[in-house]
Amino acid sequence: MTHPTLASRHVTPMHCSHLRHKGMYVTGDVTSEPNGFADDIDATSFWCVCTQKAFGPDGLPVTLEDCATGRSCCNHDAAEAT
Amino acid sequence: MADEQNPPAAPPPSGPARTWPPVADRALLGKPIRRIDGPDKSQGKAKYTYDIVRPGMLYGRLLSSPHPYAVVKSIDVTPALKVPGVKAAIALKDPAGPTAKIWYQGEEVAAVAATTEEAAEDAVRAIKVEYEILPALATVEQSMSANAPVNFPKGNVSAERLTLRPDKADVEAALKASAHIVEGTYSTQVQTHTSLETHGGICEWNGEKLTAWVSTQAVHATRDGLSRALQMQQSDVHVITDYMGGGFGSKLGPDVQVVIAAKLAKEAGAPVKLMLTRKEEHLITGNRPSAYAKVKAGVDAQGKLTAFDAETWGTGGAGQGAGFNIPYPVYAFGVLRQRHKDVFINAGPQRAMRAPGHPQACFITEVVVDELADRLRMDPLELRMRNLPPAGPDGQDLPTQQWRKYFPMAADKIGWSRRHATADTGSGPIKRGMGCAANRWAGGGSNRTRAACEILPDGGVVMRIGTQDIGTGTRTLVAMITAETMGLPLTAVKAAIGDSEYPWAPGSGGSTTVGSISPTVRIAAENARDALFAKVAPSLRVEPAALVAKDGRVQVKDNPAKGMTWKEACRLLGVQPISADGAWQQGLSSSGTSGVQFADVEVDIETGITRVKRVVCVQDCGMIVDRITAESQVYGGIIMGIGFALFEHRILDRNTAKMVNPNMEFYLLPGMSDIPEIDITLIDQPERGPVGLGEPPTISTAAAIANAIANATGARVRSLPLTPAAVLAALHEERSGGTR
């Protein structure tokens, strides 16, 4: 399973290939600040690349927890993702 | 793996180590250089997305939901199609499908395209929509209430997230052992995105290929978004952003309205421009989430911070989180615990906004630190100095943690020694006070950034890089670094940016742009210049390594008279330009900034009105590339911080959840008369290479102002914005028994 997760500290292969957040396009070390600034309770907002909104094609919120295997619109098609 | 949006990281460098020229040899870098596009912008020649008009172009408009929580029962767009001039009308909600629900006011229900804006507005009004209106949640209090309707799939409140440091720390025991405790509830408001240029774009089809002029912070991300949303090949999508009027984190893709513009353009067979209205901008383009914190913090009798315990929550609107980390990681609290919950309401979802999470966390933490100093009857600056992170083994603070140096510098500049120990006890209603706060940010660059440089036979130089100038001066930086490397004047270089067909660069966010593009442009320019040296060297009968480019000449390093003009050198190319690529390498940029801000305010205790008289800022950003644009970032950040501190506030009607101030009349931003004297000391760290500066200066302004108001009045306002009503309420509470 391959889709664009390389630059994300949130998105794993378990997640939908359509899940997006700022850090996937802003690939600098926004949060990996030297000297251990932990960012456990972070402010990340997520969106669906297909709807371009914070709600997915199934009309439900896009979240890191929900946009994973099992959701009806979840996509793991590597060919489509890349 | 890598793909178009995430090209592989640059391989380890195999050639000579890359460096910046010695400071003494720099003709442009670090100097105050005016923006190369300043004249075009000031004369109206620069074409922003908003300004672009394509032949035969139609105007798109959205029909937005007036209801914050509803179900669309039916949509009929056919009446819109009968309006003269209307060429397309599409429904965006499917009453029979899963997208029928409206989650927040302003959600897109339908869209039209017409020959004039007026016709488009008439057509929107003609669309017939039937809604089933549902009871909306307007506040965190409503959502958290036990008898609230459950409007969100997994409940109105998220599961708790916990931070505990160190592991298994006994926070309660540490608090119990503290000499002094501060306990209170602190909050910050929802701040909506109010970029000068609203979100949107123009979409034009040529067969199955799409060209989109978009107001975006990320041309490559926008190409990715359009291709995925429209199910196209990325190679068939071309995104252009010549100039754009601000994004602050909210424009990192095409967004729904540009996808809609593309669909309308396809339907109408003509280009469509769809820029959001100011009202839509407030409702649907994102915001900084609110933050609430019930804090208990301790300090020992010697002024050592002992413990910080916080229960936090906030709302990122419909379905999105509202995370922030406290205590803000500048001061070394002994132990800390944070328990956080996200609360969902029926309002537009949050998005990244300039330093996500930081201004909220900074405000809460810095106010608590000030209150602990009050308990100790200690100068709050002294308490801060005693609790900065310990120096390294060599006795020096890390370059990313320079607060021990900056606090005294800024204190001296603002005249901290004249600060009242408590409140201003002078006669008259105008009270004066000072406060301070610190900030930190990362701001490192992306190792995936690429650039391509051309040297033309007529002496021209073009640097192409798929970054974009979001108003920060990136175009000027690209030209400066190229010109410096070539030994040319700034005017001899063309900086080509804002195009998805240029080499990949990251979205302009997180203050990562300067750290991404600077090394990459430098390397591409060096590679091109060195290729020119290889062409020129034989005619001068020297090795290429013996050559330098300086003052518009290519000449022998140790014998400047032996050489030729740049143009003469380029003529040796014949008809074939030099093309050279550059990939980001480590060592030419860094990550990590630190800074402090001090505010000097006047508060009228009869009206509650605060006037910020002066803000003093000491800030580092690694190697300064252009002093003017760097200072502009700080000015902008502080002004935005003043807006967060005193004015900006999304207000929702508690009964309907509709925003009552979605405009520029009642959603207040700082005007010219609200902007104080801003005194900036930028610390140049040339040995570190550039570090991003967009975010840090906006982080600590509100905290410094809040602490200054408390110092002026003796009353503590623990909630933003610091409105006259909030100040008067705090004064009343102080007179009735105390806010401290």
What is the rounded distance in angstroms from the CA atom of residue A6 to the CA atom of residue A70?
22
Q: For residue range B79-114, what is the model confidence (pLDDT) as tens digits?
A: 999 999 999 999 999 999 999 999 999 999 999 999
Task: Find out whether B221 and A25 touch, Cβ atoms under 8 Å.
Answer: yes
Query: Which pLDDT belongs to residue B282?
Result: 98
Contacts of B260 (CB under 8 A, 6+ apart): B60, B62, B90, B92, B108, B111, B274
User: How many angstroms separate the CA of residue A14 from the nearest CA in chain B?
Assistant: 15
* Among B258, B325, B511, beta carbon nearest to A41: B325
Query: Which pLDDT belongs to residue B30?
Result: 97
Q: Name the one residue in this structure whose structure tokens are 């994102």.
A: B286
In a domain, A1, yes or no: yes
Pairing of strands B108-114, B86-91: antiparallel
More confident residue, B393 or B715: B715
* Among B101, B163, B400, beta carbon nearest to A34: B400
The verdict on a CB contact (< 8 Å) between B357 and A81 is no
* Among B400, B508, B516, beta carbon nearest to A35: B400
Instruction: Inform me whether the pLDDT recorded for A29 exceeds 70.
Output: no
Where in the sequence is the domain holding A78, given as residue range(s)?
1-27+44-82
More confident residue, B143 or A6: B143
Instruction: Inform me whether the pLDDT recorded for A35 exceeds 50.
Output: no
- Start-to-end CA span in chain A (Å): 11
Instruction: Inform me whether the pLDDT recorded for B4 exceeds 60.
Output: no
What is the rounded distance in angstroms from the CA atom of residue B237 to the CA atom of residue B227?
7
Q: For residue range B146-179, what is the model confidence (pLDDT) as tens digits?
A: 999 999 999 999 999 999 999 899 999 999 999 9
| Strand, helix or coil for residue B122 | helix
Query: Which pLDDT belongs to residue A12?
Result: 84
Q: For residue range B549-579, what is the model confidence (pLDDT) as tens digits?
A: 999 999 999 999 999 999 999 999 999 999 9
Q: DSSP H helical segments within B437-589, as ranges? A: 474-486, 513-540, 566-571
Instruction: Report residue A76's pLDDT band, with 50, 70 and 90 as the boundaries.
Output: confident
Contacts of B12 (CB under 8 A, 6+ apart): none
Instruction: Inform me whether the pLDDT recorded for B3 exceeds 60.
Output: no
Q: For residue range B406-451, what is the model confidence (pLDDT) as tens digits?
A: 999 999 999 999 999 989 999 999 999 999 999 999 989 998 999 9
Backbone angles phi and psi of A68, in degrees to 5: -140, 180
Query: Which pLDDT belongs to residue B645?
Result: 98
Percent of chain B with pLDDT over 90: 95
Q: For residue range B204-233, what is the model confidence (pLDDT) as tens digits?
A: 999 999 999 999 999 999 999 999 999 999
Write out chain A residues lying below 8 Å of B507, CB-based. 22, 25-26
Instruction: Inform me whether the pLDDT recorded for B336 exceeds 50.
Output: yes
Write out chain B residues lying below 8 Å of A52, CB-based. 225, 229, 253-256, 258-259
Q: For residue range B123-135, what is the model confidence (pLDDT) as tens digits?
A: 999 999 999 999 9
Instruction: Report residue B267's pLDDT band, with 50, 70 and 90 as the boundaries.
Output: very high
* Among B2, B225, B351, beta carbon nearest to A49: B225
Q: Name the one residue in this structure whose structure tokens are 């390093």.
A: B557
What is the rounded distance in angstroms from the CA atom of residue B24 to the CA atom of residue B311?
52
Query: Which pLDDT belongs to residue B133?
Result: 98
Write out chain A residues lying below 8 Å of B446, CB-based. 26-28
Contacts of B25 (CB under 8 A, 6+ apart): none
| Strand, helix or coil for residue B496 | strand
Concatenate the DSSP letters of all residues of B14-35 into one string. -SSPP-PPPGGG-SSTTS----
| Strand, helix or coil for residue B212 | strand
Q: Which of B:447-466 have CB within 8 Å of A?
A: 447-448
Query: Which pLDDT belongs to residue B12?
Result: 60
Mean of the per-residue pLDDT values of chain B: 96
Mean pLDDT of B627-642: 98
Residue B153 tokens read as: 């799939």
Neighbours of B494 (CB within 10 A): 17
**At CB < 8 A and 24+ separation, what contacts does B387-394 make?**
B387/B303, B387/B304, B387/B305, B387/B331, B387/B332, B387/B333, B388/B330, B388/B331, B388/B332, B389/A35, B389/B330, B389/B332, B390/B332
Q: For residue range B487-521, what is the model confidence (pLDDT) as tens digits?
A: 999 999 999 999 999 999 999 999 999 999 999 99
Angle at B659 between CA B655 and CA B664, to 5 degrees: 150
In a domain, A57, yes or no: yes
Percent of chain B with pLDDT over 70: 97
Domains of chain B, first to last: 23-30+445-583 (3.30.365.10), 49-64+70-134+199-275 (3.30.365.10), 287-443+590-735 (3.30.365.10)
Provide the domain count of chain A.
1
